[in-house]
Amino acid sequence: MSCIAGLERFVTKMLTPDGTLGLEGNHGIGKTTFVEVNMVRCIAEKHKVPLSRVHLISRCAGQIDPADLGGGFKTYKGRTYNCPPSWLPTSKKYDDKMRAIFGDEYQSDTIYEDYYILFIDEWKRGNPLIHNALMEITLSHKIFGVDLHENTYIVVADNDDLDIYNGNANIDPAQMSRVENHKYAPTNEEYLNIFKAKTDAGKMHPVVLEFLMTYPEYIVISTETIRECAAKQQKTASPRDWEKLGWRLQNAADNNFDYVELQESDPVISGELSDIATSIVGVHGAPFVTYCNDRKGMSVNLDTIIYGKVEAERKVELKKLEEIKKLSIPVIAYTGARKIAENKLKKPEHGAHLLELLQALPNEGVAAFFYEWKAKDEKSAIDWMGYSGARMNVIYKTLGGYKKWCETMKSRGIDINSDEPIDGD
């Protein structure tokens, strides 16, 4: 359940405000983003309210002063009353009591009909006073005896390996028991989908996505590797770092200076690209730059295959599919699907050319290509597939129940090796 989809189901279907959700994992893997984006959306969907009615309150434990969390005291007729800080949502019962005592002088920013997420990031880095306050918050959702707003979800997050990270190793078992800790570990597919969306939106340079599709093992670095590099004071890459590198390169390209393209013919720019990559993704900058140098030889001209008019040129590019590194297939599938979704198949021969391309790919490449295309332009993808038996066949080969499907096609008199239109359409 540590993947994004599993945690979203947990938040939507099971989590209630009386619990405290904990997210643990290495740095830069998206724990904070999950709370700020995914969890806000899940709470809104759970309670069937607009996003604007879910309020995120985010604080870092290592930067909180005890007064920031506990507030102060106000004296009235010889007695003192605890006054929580304005950023904490308090219950209506407590606020009504304070208004009865202090009148209009007492103000609360809490919107009682709305929902709140109190997010304490890097919660193991707080000092002992902060952790004493967090004991009460995580167990009873109170701060110095004051009830928080009833619709307040509390989330804490931190790195989970204190042999690597500079957290508080003296958090006692009683405090740990009050947090429902979940390992935060999105799948490579989930990360790639995030990176694809950012690339499509022009927020990441395509080469970073292509590299990570080709070498997904670099998306999340193992704890063992992080530990080894930390001992040598070497920087490693995290998903956050890859996103940052993608943004830096895209920003340069938007300013008419594409380091990736220019470095192929300019050694000076190549050196600068190496320095930039190393500064952001550390020891993983070297394989990234090597990929940038080699990527021309790892790709084929999809425009020529699909839209080309010269048959000999098309055959040359199709032949390359048999020779390029198998690792490049995900990149070809992704870029090809995007190209078709954008440029369409405007002539009958384009559809036939696409069939040739897919027939040259392994099943996993076909599946990646088709579902990427379908996600971007479902009608065109379905219409293309249903045109002939051969086109359906190249897709159905990647699915379960293929043998039964073949028997069904045979009973209907459909030739799964022919690209002629079914029923003469």
| Entry field: residues in the chain | 425
Return the SS3 of 334. Answer: helix
Tokens of 28: 């830069």
DSSP 90: B
How far is the C-alpha of 329 from the C-alpha of 354, rounded, in Å?
15
Listed by start position, the domains of the chain span: 4-183, 188-298, 302-424
Of the candidates 150, 118, 149, the one whose C-alpha atom is nearest the C-alpha of residue 134 is 118
Per-residue pLDDT of the chain (425 residues; tens, 9 = 90+): 589 999 999 999 999 998 889 898 888 889 999 999 999 999 999 999 999 999 999 988 777 776 677 667 777 777 877 788 888 898 999 889 888 888 888 888 899 999 999 998 888 777 777 777 777 788 888 887 888 899 999 998 887 766 665 555 566 666 677 788 898 889 999 999 999 999 989 999 999 998 998 888 999 887 787 778 777 888 888 999 999 999 999 999 999 999 998 988 888 998 999 999 999 999 899 999 988 887 766 678 888 999 988 999 999 988 888 777 666 788 888 888 888 988 899 999 999 999 999 998 888 889 989 988 998 899 999 999 999 999 999 999 998 899 999 999 999 999 999 999 987 54
Asked if 180 contacts 20 with a C-beta cutoff of 8 angstroms, the reply is yes
Beta strand 54-60 pairing with 142-143: unpaired
**Which residues are CB-contacts of 18 (< 8 A; sequence separation ≥ 6)?**
141
Of the candidates 39, 320, 334, the one whose C-alpha atom is nearest the C-alpha of residue 157 is 39
CATH number listed for the domain at residues 4-183: 3.40.50.300
Neighbour-count burial of 354, counting CB atoms closer than 10 A to its CB (0-12 exposed, 13-18 middle, 19+ buried): buried
Tokens of 266: 């300019």
Number of H helices, E strands in the chain: 22, 9
How far is the C-alpha of 149 from the C-alpha of 125, rounded, in Å?
25
